[in-house]
A and B are shown apart, each in its own frame.
Chain A
Amino acid sequence: MEQKDILEKFKNAIVDLDLEKALDSTKEALNNGVTAYEIMDAMRSASNLVGQKFESCEYFISELIIAGTIMKSASDLLKPHMSGDKTKFRGKVIIGSAPGDMHDIGKNLVVVSLMGAGFEVVDLGIDVPADKFVQAVKDETPNIMGISALTSTTMMRIGEVIEALKSSSIRDKIKVVLGGAPLTDEFAKKVGADACAKDVINGIKICEGWISE
């Protein structure tokens, strides 16, 4: 089988949510001399197709989770084959739940979907204090920060994270995207964030848009 066909098979396996086939074709691709970087590239376009199916209501949250699981497992196989300048991420995102917010189902889904879309992601976890976000920006030098909040109470503490970025003079260094059930564009604007993602796929698109600017 030609390299192109193997990559096509790999892509279809992700879109069809077939873990076994995806891992087999990852190994097959590596054995046939396809580089890990090319496989990652195919994974990005598969991730994009999964996103399109979500937007057209063919796929739901559960399918995004499975696609994420498959892409993570495939990435694990690729890791030993990636080195030096060939490991190209599209951008770096740090992400965490707002101070006081201990919910992570949505955030975790964003993490795996961003990874599938080719981003390097640093997950700060739940209930992340403002100073931890600030320190992570200094340590990790990300392009983007994602803040998640599920409740109308905890969303009010997103502002303190953005204020902390401002007082540390690092707000201009990154884009900030918010996500979570009660959040709106209006709220994002009010607290000084750059965008509000209405769902996972919308969030990925926002990040992709910033990186390609």
Chain B
Amino acid sequence: MESVSRGQKATIYPGERYTPRERVWKILEHQEADRVPAELGGCLSFMMKQSYFNLKHYLHLPIFFKEIDYWPGGTHYTSFWTTPIDERIYRRFRIDFRPISIRFPRPFIPQKLFSDNSFIDECGFHRKAGETYLEFANPYPLEHMDNVDEIINDPYWPDPEKDRSVEGLDRKAKRIDEGGYALSCVAPMGGVFETSWQRRGFNKFVEDIYLRPNIANALLDKVKDVLIKMYGMMLDQIGDYCTLVGVADDMGAQTSGFLNLDTYRKFIKPRHKEIFDFIHKKTAAKIYLHSCGNVDMYINDFIEEGVDVLNPVQPECPDMGLEALKDKYGDKITFCGGVNSQRVLPRGTPADVKAEVIRVIKAAANGGGFIVAPGHIIQPEVPPWNVCALYDSVIKHGQYPIKL
């Protein structure tokens, strides 16, 4: 595997005509480039630590001290959400994206630790280590509060100006930019809907929307203000270098959306729009929305809000087949994802993975507007040879013009 040094420029491989950033911009402008780009840990396409370490072993790469979390049981946790990927893996898989997020000025310690080893994390969520994830735990921190003032003045809300830092982000962004990569700016917390329920409890927050709209509105506005502050701090430093700005707000379950469209339009859409408009004013970058599950019913609204890229496009969900989505919205939005990650990646063979990659490229890559990525976070049991098969197949079969 090739060795890399800090700030090293992207390699233009035989048969390629563009730098990663040029390639990504062409794809985002719905044009064909030299090849289809692939995403892994470059914006909001995640990989669990367990499978990441397996991959490193498989590729004979050392595991760095900074990559190891101290949570029990090898549980996946990174306060930056995206697993930091070893630069050599980025290059091995020819990932065109590199992420940057706001930093913590001090090492992370729980805001509050409970006797069962659960704790309040840096975003004010109650978490407990499970066998695979660091899960949201009961009770939710704001679950039993019944007035707006108490909720808004809760001491565990993140305060970006006090608890976060953007020092050095511009230097790092410049280095990535000069390397020729597509830079993604990612906030280390979710969007207005998911952050609201992660602090309040899912059922409780849905009840707020219907039965206590003053509380729902106050919560959503509080999260929106924190996010605007966070994106503002980051984009003031690195806005000129960004290709993507990642926002994560899961709106779908496996079979359908969480909220009906009217409720979505009343409570969520205006806040999404305000955040995306704010981002668009700060940078020419495209908005990349990570929203899991069956979100077909919201896609027209996402587009109206200013979303340019939709991730992760879970193919196992009804209505989320790439062919149909490409037909319906292909000229207005770029899809990033689509590779079956509930069945093929964990339990298929490398040949199955290759066939899956060929399927998604055939379905969605013509005319640009498609980035290959897993249809959800790569789970702990996904074998490393399947991860390699995924990205090797993109390199091998993703050449434009698509002749599959």
Contacts and interface: CB of A to CB of B under 8 A. Distances in A.
Contact of A152 (B138, B255, B343): B343
Given A152-B381, A153-B381, A181 B256 contact: no
Nearest to A199: B255
B202 interface: yes
Nearest to A125: B138
B135 interface: yes
B210 A60 contact: no
Contacts of B257: 60-61
Nearest to B292: A181
A198 B379 contact: no
B130 interface: yes
Interface residues of A, number: 34
Contact of A198 (B209, B211, B255): B255
B342 interface: yes
Interface of A is mostly: loop
Interface in B307-349: 316, 341-343, 346-347
Contacts of B263: 62
Contact of A62 (B128, B259, B341): B259
A155 B381 CA distance: 11
Interface of B is mostly: loop
Contacts of A105: 202-203
B256 A60 contact: yes
Contacts of B133: 102
Contacts of A106: 253
B211 A62 contact: no
A57 interface: yes
Interface residues of B, number: 34
A81 to B, nearest CB: 24
Interface in B127-170: 128, 130-133, 135, 137-138
B339 to A, nearest CB: 13
Interface in A60-107: 60-63, 65-66, 68-69, 100-106
B380 interface: yes
B380 A181 contact: no
A151 B210 contact: no
Given A17-B210, A152-B381, A62 B256 contact: no
B57 to A, nearest CB: 18
B206 interface: yes
B146 to A, nearest CB: 15
B380 A153 contact: yes
B260 A181 contact: no
Contacts of B380: 153
4 smallest beta-carbon distances between A and B, as pairs: A102-B135, A181-B254, A182-B342, A102-B130
Interface of A: 17, 19, 54, 57-63, 65-66, 68-69, 100-106, 108-109, 126-127, 151-154, 156, 181-182, 198-199
Given A65-B202, A69-B211, A156-B381, 12 more contacts: A17-B210, A61-B253, A66-B207, A105-B203, A127-B130, A151-B379, A152-B341, A152-B381, A153-B132, A181-B316, A181-B342, A199-B254
